Structure formats: C-alpha cells, structure tokens
Amino acid sequence: MTTRWLLHASGFLLLTLNLQLSASEPERRLTYEQDIRPILKAHCFQCHGEEEKPEGKLDLRLVRLMKQGGVSGESLIPGNHQDSFLWQRIDDEEMPPLDKKLPAKDKELIAAWIDQGAVTARPEPESLAPGVEPSDEEKAFWSFQPIRRQDPPRVQNEALVRVPIDAFLLEKLEKENLGFSPEADRRTLIRRVSFTLTGLPPTPTEVDQFLADNDANAYERLVDRLLASPRYGERWARHWLDVAGYADSDGYSPKDAERKYAYKYRDYLIRSLNLDRPWDELIREQLAGDEMLTPPYQDLAPEALDKLVATGFLRMAPDGSSDPAAEQALARNDTIAETIKIVSTSMLGLTIGCAQCHAHRYDPIPADDYYRFRALFEPAYNPKNWRSPTARLISLWTADERSRAASVDAEVKAIDLERAKAVAALVKKVFEQELAEAPEELRGKLREACDTPKSQRSAEQKQWLKTYPRLNVLPGNVSLYDAKAFNALTKDFAAKVAKAREKRPSEDFVHALTEVPGQVPTTNLFFRGDIQQPRQAVLPGELKVLTASSEASDIPVDDPALPTTGRRLAYARHLTSGKHPLVARVLVNRVWLHHFGRGIVNTPGDFGMLGERPSHPALLDWLADEFMSQGWSLKKLHRLILTSTAYRQSSRRDPKLESVDPDDRLLGRMPVRRLEAEAVRDAMLAASGRLTPTMYGPPVPVAIDEAGQVIVGLDNRDGAGRPVSKRASIGNEEWRRSLYIQVRRSLPLGLLETFDAPPMAPNCEQRASSTVAPQSLMMMNNDFVVQQAETFATRVALEAGDDPKAQVQLAWRLALALDPDPEAVESAVRFLASQQEDFAATREAKPASKSSPKVNPAHQALATFCQALFGSNAFLYVD
C-alpha cells in the first residue's frame, strides 16, 4: 500500500464523514440580527450607519437599506454572495479600510448568510432613529436581564451540601460524574481563611487553639472571629481600592502631584467594612454623598462627614489639571473620561468608555449613551467652570477653629503693619543720615526731589538723584545701609509672627467631589470624541439597554428640592433599588473572585459581549439576590461562602478531575493561589514580629534609594535627584501594613510591583498573578527581605533558644503555620550546621572592620534559613 493511496483513502474518509455530518446536521439558518449585525456593527457601522450622512450613502443598519444600496448601486443580492457588491468589497479587503480586516470566519459567515437569502429575524422597521440603537438580540443578552432567583437544584449527594452554594456547584460536577474533593485539614483551613479575611497568617497560638477546639462549630467560630477582626476591614478595603483606582497622587504627568488627604477615603472604607455597613448605602455615599448634605459642608457630624469623604471614590482618577504644563482642556476631559471608566467597570462591569468616540463596537452602548452617563458627573466635573484639585478640598475647621484662625490672621496682619511702620521709620532714619552727607544748600532740593512721586519728578530732580544715588532709600534696600538694625527688626517681628501663628489651629481637608450650587452645565456629544467638536446636547440618564429590562431611572436635570442638581443621587438610588440587573451581580462576583481566585464571570470588569460567560449563571443570580435580601451585608455573604463545602475542599489535584475540568471551572477542588503583593510583604513582617498594627492616618512615604529602587522612607534627594543627606528614620511607620504605604502613581514600591501590585491607570479590574524570575531574585536580594529574615532569626533565637531543632520548628510554624515533619526538621538542622560552618570559616578568613564587622555565624545561618522559608512555595502560596 503506497503513501499516495493512504492519502487518497484518508481524504475519501474525511469527505464521507463531512457528507454524513451535513446529512445529519442541517445547515443552521443565519439571520441578520443574530449573526451578521454584530460583525457589521463592530467593523462598519462607524462609517455606514452611525453618522447622519453615511459614507457613499450606504447604510448597513437594515437589510432593505443594503438592498437599496448607495452611490454605487445595490450592495446586496440575496442568494448570490459573489455578485453582491458588499461581499466584493469585503473579499477584496477594501472594506473595512486600512488594517481593520475582517477575520476569515466572519467573512465566511457573511457569504453563507447572503447565499441563504439574507434573511432577517423579523420584519424591519419603516424608519430608524439616528445612530445605533440596541437590537432585540442585544437586549436579550444574559447580563442585561433582571436577576432571577432559582431554588437550589437537587443533587445526588445531599450530605455534601452545607449551604445552597454547594448544590449549584455539585449539580454540574455530578453531571460529569464528579464530586467535591475531600475537606482540607485544619491547618490548611485556618491559614486559608486567615489570609482570605485578614491578609495575614495565623499565629502559632491561633493554630493551636483551633486544632484543640473539638466543637462541631469550631470552624464557623473561627470565621466569625476573623470577620470581627479589625484586620478584616484592612484586607477587604484593599480589594475595593483596586477597582476604585485609589492613589495618593494625581498621576497623569511626570509632576504626579501628591494628594495629601486622599487617605481619608481609604480609612472610610476600612471603618465601613469593619462595621459591616450595607453596601447599598456605601454605593450611594460614594457616588453622591455630597448631595445628601447641604453646602457649605461645615461643622459636620462624623456620620455626615463620612458621606463627604466617600465621594473621594470619584476623585481617584488621574488628574492633570493641576499641572500648568498639561494641555488643560484635554487634561480635564481625560479626568472625566477616566472617572467614568472607574464607575462603569466597578459598579456595572461594563466598558462604557469604548463608546466615547463612536458606538461601542460590541456592547449595545451608542455614543449618546456615553454622554448621557457623562452628564451625571459634569455638574461636579464642570469643564467650563473647572476647579483645580486644591480648589476642590473641603476644610474641616469647626466654627470655633475658624474663629480662632481669623483672630490669629488678624493678629498677624497687625504685626505685619507694625513691622511695616518700623521699617518705614528705619528708612526715614537712614535717609536723614544720608541727606546729612550732602551739601547743606542742596538738602532742601534733594528732600523735595525724593518726596516727589517718581512719575512726577522734573528733569532737574532726576539729575539731582542721579548725582546723589544713596538718597534712594527704600524698604526693599534699607538693609544695605544698616544691616544690623534691619536684621534685628526682622528677627524680632518674625518671632512675634511665629508666636502668634502657634495659636492658629492646623487646617485639615477632605478630598471630595462636590457641585457648585446654581451651576448646571449642558453636556454635549463630541463628534468622534473630539472635545473641539461639540454636537447635540444630551440629558443625563441610564444606558438604554439597561432600561429595557428594569425600570427606567428618573434622573433630574436639576432637582428643585436640592441645592445640587441631584443627578448622581438619583442615579445611585436607581443602582441600589434592587431591580438593577448588574450591580449586585458584579459585586458578588468580585467577592467570589477573591475567595476562589477567579470569578463566576472571570472578567469582573466586563459583563458585556466580549466578557466571559458565567460558569454558573443560576448560582450568580442566587448569590446576587441573597446578597440584597440579606441587607447588602458583605460579612453575611462572606460567611455563606466560607462555610460552604466548596470553600473547605482540599486543593490536591485529582487525575479524573483534571481530565474532565483542567481549568477547575466546576470547582471540584480548591484552587491554589499565590499571595497578593501586599500579603507577601505583610506576612514577612508578621513572621519577623515587626508588623506595626497602627491603623488609619496619612500614608507612609516612599522614596528612591541609591540603587534606584522605590522603598519605604523619606525622600532625601535634591532637585537633580541626588541624595543630599543620610536618610532620616521614620521609626515603626516603616513596618506598617502595605495598605498604608503611599500609592504614588510614578513611584510604585519595588517589592510590591514585582509581585503584581497593579498600576492605577486609572484602576485595576482584576490583578494578574504571575510567577516570574524577578520574584525569586527579589526574595534573594532585596534589602527589605534580607532585613526581615535577620529580624525573623533574632525572634526565633529569642523565643526558641539555642536548640537548632526547636528553632526550625518555631520558624516553620511562624512562617508557614505548619509543623514540619521529622524528615524536614532533620534536613533543616543539617542545613543550619553546614551554613554555620561556612560562615565561621569566612569570618576567620576575613578580618573584621568598621565597614564589615564580624557577625555571629549561628545567627547568620538561621537568617539564611528564615529567608529560604520566605522564598518557599509554602510561604508564597495558599492551598
């Protein structure tokens, strides 16, 4: 049998197979609305449908308009794609123009649709409104539908169902003849849930107490204890700060001005989460807290102040309007656009920003929808009456503090007047001394010339003063005549001013978004997104596709009952009405993501057409409805998820599960996850015993060290970027949780950046979790890591004594929350002995000096072991 015969035979078999498939599976009926319109909308509508005058007078929004054609005649011949002008332009790759060519599969679909007769799903309308409106098929997309709660399904192994979540997951597993993995051991569980809820490892004492608790509800009590910990608010605030785009600087330009008061928003989140404040309240406050208050926002009670602080959420986008070098109109527009991106991706899970220049290519969001959404925020971000970042700050002075400040300001003003009089007296004294040096017969004329205003002096007077220039004594130059008297006077009055200002209360501010009462700007649609080409005015409102499945939002242009327009407040109430199709789904999906490493929808910022479909849609809706029915309580949602059988599973891989579900989308085991950047740093501080538990307050500063790395510390560089002095210590502030380290957009902390801390550009919808070589190098060479390893070794030696075995066991428990097995202990003890021997030999071979003093070989060996624990998978990953 020849090779050629084999090829012919295989070809015949393939042909036979294709004929059999064609006979058994008839060709699917393609329709314009379902199959073709999405392609044309993504690639062609921008020129042929979106504008009032489509190019070539060819409108592709309806089939009958395609048949009608444009200046080149009819573009569509049903049943004959080869002779259809539309197909010819596509096949010749003349349309779409430039490099935006259609994928082969889309071209094949268009050809097949034409050959089937260019069928529509329904009779087409007689007329169309300008632009691209959502189609019925787009409106029917899953995420735009109302949330529908379904009862948990019945499953075969009901004993595994601890909470309804388990039933939804188990149903899909059982369809594949699978089930949950065995429950993880207690040590694994306490480490897992501790990092989940607090971002910190459990202490050895906490592990021992949990292992010794034989109560049937021991695990549930552990969950409740961690939920009650103040560290819970810190951990979960960090998650929301990602999507809020939190930063302590403006970004946008190299200037990257600091935001000294942005931290109050971070602290507001921590407090609110620890108090388990309902999330519908938090949404309303973050979007419109200022509209719940009455300007001018003075003498606010703590609860009212929190509402103002909450609007810091809308001030997190990069803002270049404080930089005089930036093009202001563009910088202002970009600030609004980035704010819209933060709001839409965090609250709605939609990429609304894609519709800024033209209709969204994939989601049913026309350009006018984008500008309707923008109109919600323009009364506060008013481009025509823009306020710089500093002008938006709200003072926190009380009435008493304002009175005291005014009194001090008046006192300082009086001192300045007194100083001016004293300087004037000194000027007069010096003038008389200088005049006395002139000839007596000229003194009268010289005095008269000096007393005459400069603009009124005669030519003769000007000449006299040129001849006697020392008579030109002024407050600005009197120090040149009598430096001693002037300096004494200056020093005396400076001391008086300083003493007066000591009584002035220090001023504090809120980084907030507010409206100016009475200013109601008109929002215009920008042609192609160009701010220089405003077109028709638009009114504020919800996206059209979302009003199709839920009640339309009633957004006022200017609410007469409020001093503000009321737009954001009305929209926030609409979002939290319980009827919105996206908000609760997006929120619970984010919580699920942080518990299991991936969301039910694994594109948490994109619930649109290009986003992933939910792996368990019924579960997502059940969770969303349960979340709202339980008062939008995040802690109740946590408890529900954490007490499930699904969360308690082992992470051990199973060949059968791997073969059916290699990506673990069915959650037949617990995914292994790497610690986030902040948790890596915080866990090292916790193990070393250096972690400073101080909560709240201004951020810990960052600086650039001599090697160019961004570290925690005070900046000691001059204008040219050169170190000018020894870096000053900031004490225990250096060891605070990573949450409190300053987030400078231009200066990301080196250690955190290496472990995927996200750049806020403008926010982070979902963190990456990479495993790359620089992470290993960082754990081996970074000064912070080495320093914490040495501190960790000091702690271990102090608490465990000199016994190497005891040291290994304690270090293992502190770093990994595990008891090492005997084999691991013996191996580690041998490592310590070997390292100690090497360090001792090195010490003997190299004499000590001031620059490199002798070290204790035992301590150095233990520090090396502690650093090895920091770099281990068991430390960096959670099972």
In angstroms, the Cα distances linking 802 to 420, 480, 719, 810, 869 are 73, 72, 50, 12, 19
pLDDT digits (tens, 9 = 90+) for 325-354: 899 999 999 999 999 999 999 999 999 999
pLDDT digits (tens, 9 = 90+) for 431-477: 889 889 889 888 888 898 888 898 899 998 888 888 888 989 899 89
CB distance 299 to 292 below 8 Å: no
Encoding tokens for residue 356?
């800024």
In angstroms, the Cα distances linking 239 to 233, 600, 609, 766, 821 are 10, 17, 25, 9, 35
User: Residue 24's pLDDT is what?
Assistant: 40
User: Residue 7's pLDDT is what?
Assistant: 32
Residue 725, number of CB atoms within 10 A of its CB: 9
User: Residue 848's pLDDT is what?
Assistant: 63
CA-CA distance, 450 to 849, in Å (whole number)?
72
Nearest CA-CA partner of 293 in 310, 278, 279: 310
User: Residue 404's pLDDT is what?
Assistant: 92
Encoding tokens for residue 516?
């100016």
pLDDT digits (tens, 9 = 90+) for 32-63: 889 989 888 888 888 888 887 888 888 888 88
User: Residue 8's pLDDT is what?
Assistant: 37
Cis peptide before 96 (omega within 30 of 0): yes
112-142: buried (b, 16+ CB within 10 Å) or exposed (e) per residue?
ebbbbebbbbeeeeeeeeebbbbbebbbebe
Concatenating the DSSP letter of every residue in 284-300 gives HHHHHGGGGS-TT--S-
CB distance 227 to 271 below 8 Å: no
User: Residue 246's pLDDT is what?
Assistant: 97
User: Residue 406's pLDDT is what?
Assistant: 92
User: Residue 553's pLDDT is what?
Assistant: 72
DSSP 381: S
User: Residue 44's pLDDT is what?
Assistant: 86
Q: Which residues of the chain have pLDDT under 50?
A: 1-25
The predicted model scores a pTM of 0.88
